[in-house]
Chain A
Amino acid sequence: QKEVEQDPGPLSVPEGAIVSLNCTYSNSAFQYFMWYRQYSRKGPELLMYTYSSGNKEDGRFTAQVDKSSKYISLFIRDSQPSDSATYLCAMSPGSSASKIIFGSGTRLSIRP
């Protein structure tokens, strides 16, 4: 079993829809949770960063962490064609010496 599981998609939704992306994990030591967006032929770009359980909102993006269920989510409201990318979840125990574990990424396509 992988430490981090993420549905690879592809996921295709119409413009304006709410998108829900999810990851599950098995290591209860994870404290820091990240979402990266990666456009084709580009490096991953840090999108959202959350510590421990709870919600964090930034514009159209909301990250949720449920440590009791070992489940994290990224919601995108009012999705735009420019949101079309691969979204990778990532997590670590926390210190800068910790290895970050990445999900396999979900390919998202927003249809105009």
Chain B
Amino acid sequence: SAVISQKPSRDICQRGTSLTIQCQVDSQVTMMFWYRQQPGQSLTLIATANQGSEATYESGFVIDKFPISRPNLTFSTLTVSNMSPEDSSIYLCSAFGGVLNTEAFFGQGTRLTVV
């Protein structure tokens, strides 16, 4: 399995500010994924982060709002920019692992509240 560390675990931020979330994997992985989980909802994929190239964003998510960095094969960051209360959510980092590299493992999540 892949062990994924994410920080901060939670934060309360003022609207209009930005927050950068860090994700560290204990092994080298080709792709890392960022999800959002709104209260009582399932996981929505924000973007896929490949090392050495720009992230690929899903419909409804844009780079200006959610810039992503992927400087090496074990680390990624997601920034939530110019935050509004609608951005209050849990943000989760994920990577594949397992024998066939098809099992998705998750970090503990970052609980963001925008006031």
Check A44–B43 contact: CB distance below 8 A: yes
Report which of B1, B98, B102 forms a contact with A92, defined as CB distance below 8 A: B102
Which of A49, A88, A97, A104 lies in contact with B103, CB distance below 8 A?
A49
Interface residues of A in 67-107 (CB under 8 A from B): 88, 90, 92, 94-100, 102-105
Q: How many interface contacts (CB-CB < 8 Å) are there between A and B?
A: 49
Does the CB pair A104–B41 fall under 8 Å? yes
Check: A43 CB closer than 8 A to any chain B CB.
yes
**Complex interface: chain A residues within 8 A of B102 (CB):** 32, 92, 94-96, 98
Contact B111 A41 (CB under 8 A): yes
Interfacial residues of chain B within 45-76, with CB under 8 A of chain A in the complex: 45, 48
Chain B residue at minimal CB-CB distance from A100: B104
Which residues of A lie under 8 Å from residue B114 when comparing CB positions? none
Q: From A90, which residue of chain B is reached at the shortest CB distance?
A: B104
Q: Which residues of A contact B106 (CB under 8 A)?
A: 36, 43-46
Which residues of B have CB within 8 Å of A44? 43, 92, 106
B33 → chain A closest CB, angstroms: 8
Number of B positions contacting A (CB below 8 A): 23
Nearest CB on B from A42, distance (A):
6
Residue A65 lies at the interface, judged by CB distance under 8 Å to chain B: no
Residue from the list A49, A88, A96, A104 in contact with B30, Cβ < 8 A:
A96
Pick from B31, B41, B104, B108: contact of A42, CB below 8 A.
B108
**A34 interface hit (Cβ, 8 Å):** yes
The residues of A that contact B111 with a CB separation of less than 8 Å are: 41
Q: Which B residues are within 8 Å of any A CB, using their own CB?
A: 1, 6, 30-31, 41-43, 45, 48, 92, 96, 98, 100-109, 111
6 extra interface residue pairs, beta carbon distance < 8 Å, beyond A36-B106, A42-B108, A42-B109: A43-B92, A46-B105, A90-B104, A97-B31, A103-B42, A105-B42
Kindly list the 9 A-B residue pairs having the minimum CB-CB distance in the complex, ordered from nearest.
A43-B106, A96-B96, A43-B109, A104-B42, A43-B108, A96-B101, A102-B43, A102-B42, A44-B106
